[in-house]
A and B are shown apart, each in its own frame.
Chain A
Amino acid sequence: MRVQKGKIVIFSLLVIAILATVALTGQQVAKNITLGLDLQGGFEVLYQAKPENGQKITPKVLNDTAQALNRRIDVLGVTEPQISVEGTDRIRVQLAGVKNQDKAREVLGKPAKLTFRTPDGKDVLLDGKDLKEGAAKQDIGDRGQPIVTVEFKNADKFAKTTKKYLGKPMPIYLDDQEISAPVINSVISNGEAMIEGGFTTEEAKEFAELLNAGSLPVDLKEIHSFAVDSALGKESLMKSMEAGLYGILIIFIFMIGFYRMPGLVAVVTLVSYLYLVLLTFSLLQVTLTLPGIAALILGVGMAVDANIIMYERIKEEIRYGKSIPSALRSGSRRSFLTIFDANITTIIAAAVLFYFGTSSVRGFSVSLITGIVISFFTAVALSRILMTLLVRSNMLRRPGWFGVKESEIGEL
């Protein structure tokens, strides 16, 4: 068998291209990642709940308000808020990496009370409590303008109201501001209403989300707000990253020591795994938190595992006396199903966690799913491409390159 130089050249070019991309853009990618409150600190607001017209502030009201704030923070696209109830009437909200603090205050603090009023705008006919939960959405009106559609729980009540004020305007208010004053042209019996307000699509969407998040049960007054340092502190974050690097280096050395040439391929695929995960995070603007990092570590584990499963299988086939090219073929085919089953099971678990989980649990599952999908690509596809190139080049003729001793062959 002649050594095929062409394959070696392609292999080397691929490896060089991967390493060069990582070396040149790696830092840039890492810098673009948003870190969570637990890693980078953030912005903190303390609110005081103010009772209005005879309302009592009970622990339940405070809890409901905290939950409503939590839902609103989702509107802001911030992950992992920390919200706590303090004393008898205070709520503390901590947000990570919020760039626009004014915007955050606006979304958080707005009572977001939607009212449908009499033509003179003085009396309230219907309000946000009459709306069906979660049914508000952004839509496009008949003239192509962005609108928000809402649905009433009690269609009869709405039908009666529209009958009573037929031909008259029914102004719609958000808090104390009139946002539109549609004239009722017909009795609406299906309980659905459209709100026009000269919105941009963005505004209409945000408004719909705000309505879905629910109005705040109480008025909130901001007592103070300031920036906070991370729970870990910069120093320990640096320490942890350093520790992570050592860990990865040890894995690299181990893989090369144990699996030789394939180990080297594994190292290249692991480097691309880490790079692609970080790239995905920065492109999707996923906030990286400590639970996210835990999921990443698990992802590294699973990527290494996929490589190990494949190489062990190939070694096994070599020991049975197969030639290296055919051992590679059957070894990678057989290991594929195993890796696929293990990964799919974990993805199913992670998807369920995402669907039912909140904040941290969600952050964890997003990172885990990203990690598994990418590891499937690097540890299975890329690894196989590189291995096949190496084997086809006829460079890897000795079982020793796979960490198999000549004496072991055929003993099983």
Chain B
Amino acid sequence: MNFNLDFVGRRKLFLIISAVILGVGILSLLLQGLNLGVDFVSGTRVDIKIYKPYSLEEAKDHLEEMGYKSPDARKAGENNERLIFRTSQVLSPDEVDDIEKTFRDAYGKQVRVNEQKVDPIIGRELARNAFISVLIASVGIILYVTLRFEYRFAIAAVLALFHDALFVIGIFSLFQWEVDLVFIAAVLTIVGYSVNDTIVIFDRIWESMSFDNPKTWEDLKQTVNGSLQRTLVRSLNTSLTVVFAALTLFIFGGESIRYFSLALLLGLLSGTYSSVFVASQIWVGWKWRSMQKSTLKAQSAE
């Protein structure tokens, strides 16, 4: 297979596309923030004692009819005779009475409802901890890549990593999809994939650089384009396989992990895209500028 695609020539276009998408995401984050789920915001926990066997699906339907969209409800108690329902709204006594009435109508007079205000400190702590850990992990990545290759690769790889994380977070903000604890896991997965994917391509560029030893912009462009072309089939095939996995989870995985697999899907696509169209392009521009500088230095030294 022989590709002749000029990635580097259109690099400004790719960088602008990414900047626009990220810009929209950041704007949305600033303006409307994230739609935080019960893991992160205060809300109400409703404990419904039904005192007899019941169907969870049916109980959820009752809650949906009252306007609680895809309720976070689960069975509890020794004999599964309780229903625990959490919502990020703070319920008024009237609303709690409504729930009691609906469940009494459905399951009999013995039904009792208790509510508690909930403050999920652990969820917020976890989100903060995850964020800080990723920042420190980036330092670790920068150190290794700098020692193994050069610092320009390191910075470009970490920029691509934040590009991918921010892309998914931005999209989730834009569409106001609900963010819960599992979303953190999805973002961590995306970060891991993004780094892995970028390094494979950088490895190839590094190898070609020592082989070609480019001196002019045209040569450098050709070296990078050639490296990207030779790793293109691998990039496509790898992302195809992981996207298959995320897509089947999205389609067949059921309602409760739908947003999780959606985040994975978007992040994996972005991770593949950013290695070729962001990380490599940032690097080639930067590299060229420093190559020019060192030539100028060499000339003035003569």
A residues bordering B, Cβ < 8 Å? 38, 41, 44, 59, 63, 66, 70, 81-87, 90, 92, 226-233, 235-236, 239-240, 242-244, 246-248, 250-251, 254-255, 258, 290-291, 294-295, 297-298, 300-302, 304-305, 308-309, 312, 316, 334, 337-339, 341-346, 348-353, 356-361, 364-365, 368, 408, 411-412
Query: Is the C-beta of B121 less than 8 angstroms from some C-beta in chain A?
Result: yes
Residues in B neighbouring A246, C-beta threshold 8 A: 248, 252
Per-position 1/0 for B252-279, Cβ under 8 A of A: 1111110010001000100000000000
Q: Which residues of A contact B138 (CB under 8 A)?
A: 349
Within the complex, the shortest CB–CB distance from A348 to chain B, in Å, comes to 5
> What are the residues of chain A within 8 A of B253 when measuring CB–CB?
236, 239-240, 243
Is B188 within 8 A of A294, CB to CB? Answer: yes
Residues of A within 8 A of B195 (CB): 342, 345-346, 349
Q: Assess the B193–A298 pair: CB atoms within 8 A.
A: yes
A–B complex contacts, Cβ < 8 Å, 21 sampled: A83-B121, A87-B117, A227-B76, A229-B76, A236-B253, A239-B252, A240-B254, A243-B253, A294-B260, A304-B242, A305-B238, A309-B234, A334-B207, A338-B203, A341-B148, A348-B144, A350-B137, A352-B133, A353-B134, A359-B122, A368-B192
For the complex, give the distance between the alpha carbons of A70 and B122 in Å: 9
Of chain A, the residue at the smallest CB distance from B184 is A360
Q: Tell me, rounded to whole Å, the shortest Cβ–Cβ distance linking B156 to chain A.
A: 13
A173 to B122, CA, bound (A): 32
A338 touching B196, Cβ below 8 Å: no
Q: Which residues of the other chain, B, contact A359 by a CB distance below 8 angstroms? A: 122, 126
In the complex, whether B218 has a CB less than 8 A from a CB of chain A is: no
Q: Is the CB of B133 within 8 A of A356?
A: yes
Report yes or no: B133 in contact with A85, Cβ–Cβ below 8 A. Answer: no
**Contacts A229-B74, A291-B182, A411-B2 given: A243-B120 contact, CB under 8 Å?**
no
Asked whether A83 lies within 8 Å of B122 as measured between CB atoms, the reply is yes
* A309 partner residues in chain B, CB cutoff 8 A: 200, 234
B213 close to A (CB within 8 Å): no
When A66-B122, A316-B230, A356-B129 are in contact, do A350 and B192 touch as well, CB less than 8 Å? yes
Q: Which residue of A lies closest to B82 (CB)?
A: A226
Query: Which residues of chain B are within 8 angstroms of A250 by Cβ–Cβ distance?
Result: 244-245, 248
In the complex, the answer to whether B122 meets A349 with C-beta atoms within 8 Å is: no
B116 at the interface (CB under 8 A from A): yes
Q: Is the CB of A233 within 8 A of B133?
A: no
Partner of B188, one of A312, A342, A345, A364: A364
Q: How far is the CA of A359 from the CA of B128 in the complex (A)?
A: 12
Inter-chain pairs besides A247-B249, A290-B260, A361-B133, 5 sampled, C-beta below 8 Å:
A87-B116, A239-B252, A250-B245, A305-B238, A361-B126
Inter-chain contacts of A339 with B (CB < 8 A): 200
- The reply to whether the CB of B108 lies closer than 8 angstroms to some CB of chain A is no
Return the 8 tightest CB-CB contacts between A and B, nearest first: A291-B185, A243-B252, A247-B248, A247-B245, A239-B254, A236-B254, A352-B137, A229-B75
Q: Which of A250, A294, A359, A364 has the most CB of B within 10 A?
A: A294
**Given the complex of chains A and B, what is the CA–CA distance between A304 and B120 in angstroms?**
38
Q: Is B181 an interface residue (CB 8 A)?
A: yes
Smallest Cβ distance from A57 to chain B, in angstroms? 14
Known A297-B246, A298-B193, A361-B188; judge A90-B126 contact (CB<8 A): no
- Asked if B91 is an interface residue, CB under 8 A from chain A, the answer is no
The 8 Å CB contact of A84, one of B82, B120, B246, is B120
Which B residues from 171 to 207 make CB contacts under 8 A with A? 181-182, 184-186, 188-189, 191-193, 195-197, 199-200, 203-204, 207
B233 is an interface residue with CB less than 8 A from chain A: yes
Are B119 and A86 interface neighbours, CB within 8 A?
A: yes
CB distance from A82 to the nearest CB of B (A): 7
**Residue from the list B80, B126, B242, B247 in contact with A229, Cβ < 8 A:** B80
With both beta carbons as reference points, the residue of chain A lying nearest to B139 in the complex is identified as A352
Q: How far is the CA of A228 from the CA of B157 in the complex (A)?
A: 43
- Separation of A63 and B124 alpha carbons in the complex (Å): 12
Closest to B134 in A: A353
Q: How many angstroms between the C-alpha atoms of A352 and B251 in the bound complex?
A: 33
Residues of chain B within 8 A of A255, CB atoms compared: 241
Contact B185 A294 (CB under 8 A): yes
The complex places the Cα of A297 from the Cα of B185 at a distance, in Å, of 11
Least Cβ distance of B276 to chain A in Å?
15
Which chain B residues border A254 with CB–CB below 8 Å? 237, 240-241, 244
Is the pair A258, B237 in contact by a Cβ cutoff of 8 Å?
A: yes
A275 to B128, CA, bound (A): 34
Chain B nearest Cβ from A92, distance in angstroms: 8
CB-CB under 8 A from B246, the residues of chain A are 247, 297
The answer, yes or no, to whether B65 is at the interface (CB within 8 Å) is: no
B145 and A360 form a contact (CB under 8 A):
no
Residues of A within 8 A of B140 (CB): 348-349, 351-352
Assembled-state Cα–Cα distance A342/B138 (Å) = 14
Instruction: Check if A84 sits within 8 Å of B118, measured CB to CB.
Output: yes
Contact B118 A226 (CB under 8 A): no
- The minimal Cβ–Cβ distance linking B48 to chain A, given in whole angstroms, is 13
Q: Are A63 and B121 in contact (CB under 8 A)?
A: yes
Q: Which residue of A lies closest to B257 (CB)?
A: A240
Given contacts A345-B195, A356-B132, contact A244 B248 (CB under 8 A): yes
Smallest beta-carbon distance A231→chain B, Å: 6
Q: Are A360 and B193 in contact (CB under 8 A)?
A: no
Task: Point out the residues of chain A lying under 8 angstroms from B144, CB to CB.
Answer: 344-345, 348
CB distance from B12 to the nearest CB of A (A): 28
B45 sits at the interface (CB 8 A): yes
Say if the beta carbon of B84 comes within 8 Å of chain A: yes
CB distance from A97 to the nearest CB of B (A): 16
Q: Which residues of B contact A84 (CB under 8 A)?
A: 118-123
CA distance A337 to B210 in the complex (A): 15
Q: Which B residues from 86 to 102 make CB contacts under 8 A with A? A: none
Q: Complex Cα distance A305/B275, Å?
A: 14
Chain A positions within 8 Å of B207 at CB level: 334
B302 contacts the other chain (CB 8 A): no
| A41 CA / B77 CA spacing, docked (Å) | 11
Contact check, A66 vs B121: say whether CB atoms are below 8 A apart.
yes
| Measured CA separation A84–B141 after assembly (Å) | 34
**Cα A233 to Cα B76 with chains together (Å):** 11
A251 touches B244 (CB 8 A): yes
Tell me the chain B residues, 143-164 only, with Cβ under 8 Å from chain A: 143-145, 148, 157
Asked, given contacts A240-B257, A247-B248, whether A345 binds B196 with beta carbons under 8 Å apart, the answer is: yes
